[in-house]
Amino acid sequence: MSSLLIFPLLLVALAVQAVDFTAPYHRHVNTELPGSTWHQPDSHPVYTLFRRTGGNDGDTYASVGSPEWSKSFPTDPASMQNMPQAWLDALHKAVSAGKIPDVPVTTTPPGSNPTYPDGYDPMNPDVCSSTYQCRIPGDIWDGPDGYLSLSFDDGPLPPSPTLYKFLKEKGQHATHFYIGTNILQYPDCFEMAWENQDDIAVHTWTHPYMTTKTNEEVLAELGWTMQLIHNSTGGRVPKYWRPPYGDSDMRVRAIAKEVLGLTTVIWNQDTNDWSLSDPVPITSLDKIATQMHTWLTGSKKPGLIILEHELSNQSVQAFMDAWDLVVSNGWKTTSVAQMGGASAYQNSWNASAPVTQAKVGDLSVHPPSTQAAASTTSKPSPSSSTNAKSSRPNITSNKSSALHYGATSVTFGVVASAVAVAVYILS
């Protein structure tokens, strides 16, 4: 009788040895949209403003930095107004539809914030100036609880590579709110950030107080910057913009959103690091270090979006000096453009994910669905500063949960069958 047990028991031993007791790979997929307006309907002007005229996005774009790449972009204020007619038509349509509030243009007296004409209160909901700390619903001021959401303004510039190298060494990604003319002037710096797979967003073409600009001037400041980023990133359409000096209101914000699909990003803490390289700075590295200590050792509700710049060696140093505090105080980190697992672009999850073409007639422009892109990419997730890894898709490291469970199920089936044989023989 015992000899009859050898074969089934051997099957049991082999099957048990084959079982993979490692916890199966499991990826939570959020099938809900990250916000009520994160994508645009097919009637949205962004389709015609930034659609490809042929081929697939990512193909046949001029090389960044080449004469062909830069030749179609404005070099002075006059040429900025020579916009594609489609942009102007989209603006005029939005105005006619009542989507652009009739808020007057501001003036900027020397040494003063932008000023509205008499009778217009910047804190009134109909005006709601972010310069005066009025928050418009839908604009972003705070980060997710427990997160330091990274972003830097005014690049690309000569100090930028030091910042990019540091971020790469620490395994971090950030959102760079770029000035259009700086991209033209420093294409090598731009390419370094892009090769690092950081997120690229809009900081206007010439860095003006945006509420001082007419509707058409606002459109040009945003549109040209978007188009240059689009042409330099394989056809990605920027999703976020940050107003220079934080200066926006209901009118400016509406042009950005209703005509170009841009979400406005402000901040909830300000280092004033932009002044470090000024002849008479209003802050210092020591003062910024004190501020950073206060913020990074304080409450994590809400999360931090700190206004920082890649404008000077000093401003970059201020960020690097604070990094150990970020780690030691347990802050999780993410790029501003990917907060909450959102997509960094209107038509792509990030720098390495597939790009959805924005064609007239599409129901919406958004990154490829998780199901459609599953074979090539995964939805990004925020990284932790204590275990910093790229949130970009990793084709080789992601296992298929269906395959993993399937193999395990088969193995347990063998075990069950062998045990059943053994029990039968014993009986």
* Per-residue pLDDT tens over the stretch 151-164: 999 999 999 999 99
Whole-prediction pTM: 0.76
Q: How confident is the model at residue 273, as a pLDDT? A: 98
Q: Which of 17-21, 355-359, 415-419 has the highest mean pLDDT?
A: 355-359
Q: How confident is the model at residue 45, as a pLDDT? A: 54
Strand order in the sheet with 199-202: 263-264, 240-241, 199-202, 175-178, 147-153, 332-335, 383-384
Query: Model confidence over 191-240: pLDDT tens digits?
Result: 999 999 999 999 999 999 999 999 999 999 999 999 999 999 988 999 99
Region 365-384: mean pLDDT is: 50
From 173, 309, 362, 366, the catalytic residue: 309
Q: How confident is the model at residue 1, as a pLDDT? A: 43
From 153, 154, 247, 273, the catalytic residue: 153
Q: Is the pLDDT of residue 250 over 50?
A: yes
Which pLDDT band, with edges at 50, 70 and 90, does 297 fall under?
Answer: very high
Region 53-71: mean pLDDT is: 74
Region 281-296: mean pLDDT is: 98
Tokens standing for residue 177: 């709110």
Q: Is 186 exposed, middle or buried (0-12, 13-18, 19+ CB in 10 A)?
A: buried
167 neighbors 198 (Cβ within 8 angstroms)? yes
Parallel, antiparallel or unpaired: strands 383-384 and 175-178: unpaired
Rounded distance between C-alpha atoms, residue 157 and residue 198, angstroms: 15
Q: Is 154 known to be catalytic?
A: no
Look at 45-49, 139-143, 326-330, 371-375 and tell me which has the smallest mean pLDDT: 371-375
Tokens standing for residue 243: 């107003």
Q: How confident is the model at residue 40, as a pLDDT? A: 53
Tokens standing for residue 376: 């090539």
Q: Is 121 known to be catalytic?
A: no
